[in-house]
Amino acid sequence: MHVLADDLGHLSYTVAGEGPPVVLVHAGIADHHMWDAVVPTLAERHTVITYDLRGFGQSAPPNGPFSETDDLRRLLDHIGHERVRLVGASWGGRVAVDFTLTHPGRVHSLALFAPPWPGYDWSAEMVAYDTAETEALAAGELDAAVRVNLDMWLRGPARGWDEVAPGLVDAVRGPLRTSLVNQPALEAHGQDGADGDVATIAVPTLVGIGGLDVADFQDIGRRYATRIPGATLVEFATAGHLIPLEAPTELLAALGPFLAR
C-alpha cells in the first residue's frame, strides 16, 4: 500500500488500473479489502483507488480533530485527481454523500450501497444492537463486541449462520476488531458530517440495498433513492448489509454500466 502521511497520522491507499478515476470507500466495520473482489474488473477500465479510512485497516488512528471529507479531499489532491466517480458502502456511503455535498464539482457520479442516514429514527432492533455493543466495550469484552457486530452486520435478521458464505466471517473479523479498538479515538476526534440536503445532489446516483439487510437500511436506501433527483435504486436479493463482500458479481453487473456513463 501507499502511505499519505500528515500531522494526524497517515492514510494508507492503493491504486490499480488506468482510466477515469473511481474511489471506493469501505464500510465502518471493514477496510479497503472489502472491495478486493470487484477491483480487478473495475481496473480493466478505470483507475481504481481504495483506501483505509483513518483508524481502519492500515491507516493510523487520529491524534487530533479530523474530518473524513477533508481526508478524502487531501487524498485526491495528493494522487492528482480533480474529479472522480465515488462509490461507498455502509458508512463509506455516508462519507461519499458528505464529500459530494461539500465538493459537488469534484464528483462525476455517486454510488451508495446500504448507507446510513443521519438522525434516523432507529428501530428497537438497532437500538438493542447498539446497547449490546456499548455494554460489551464498556466491560472490556472486545470479543463479545466483535460477535455482536458480526451477528448484526454479517448474519443479519433474515438468515442463520449456515446460510452465510464460508470465509466471510474470517474476512470481516480482523478489520472489525481494528475498528473497535480505534473507536474511542475516532469518537473523540471525528468532526460532524456535512450539512446539506441530498436533494441538491445533481450527479448521476445509484443506490443499492441488500434484500437480507436490516429493515432500517432498506428503508434508508429507498429514502436516498427518493430524495436524490434521478437516482436509481437496485436491490441485491441475496445480500445483507455488506453488499461488495456478499454479492460482488451482482454489484459489478449494476456498477459497471453505471460507471461507464
Euclidean distance between the first and the last CA atom of the chain, given in angstroms as a whole number: 29
Of the candidates 209, 212, 210, 253, the residue with the CA atom closest to the CA atom of residue 231: 209
**Count of domains observed in the chain:** 1
Q: Is residue 112 part of a domain?
A: yes
pLDDT tens across 221-253, in order?
999 999 999 999 999 999 999 999 999 999 999
Q: What pLDDT does residue 96 have?
A: 98
Give the residues of the chain that fall short of pLDDT 50.
Answer: none
Q: Is residue 168 part of a domain?
A: no
Question: Do the Cβ atoms of 105 and 205 come closer than 8 Å?
Answer: no
Q: Which domain holds residue 229?
A: 2-120+189-259
d(CA 28, CA 41): 24
Q: What pLDDT does residue 232 have?
A: 98
Of the candidates 88, 100, 132, the residue with the CA atom closest to the CA atom of residue 221: 88
pLDDT tens across 188-224, in order?
999 878 888 999 999 999 999 999 999 999 999 999 9
Q: With a threshold of 0.85, does the pTM exceed it? A: yes
Q: Is residue 85 part of a domain?
A: yes
Contacts by residues 153-158 (CB-CB < 8 Å, ≥ 24 positions apart): 153/27, 153/29, 153/90, 153/240, 153/241, 153/242, 154/240, 154/241, 154/242, 155/240, 156/210, 156/212, 156/213, 156/214, 156/240, 156/241, 157/125, 157/212, 157/214, 157/215, 158/212, 158/240
Q: Is residue 14 part of a domain?
A: yes
CATH code, domain carrying 37? 3.40.50.1820
Identify the bridge partners of residue 3 per DSSP, sorted by sequence position: 12
Q: Is residue 133 part of a domain?
A: no
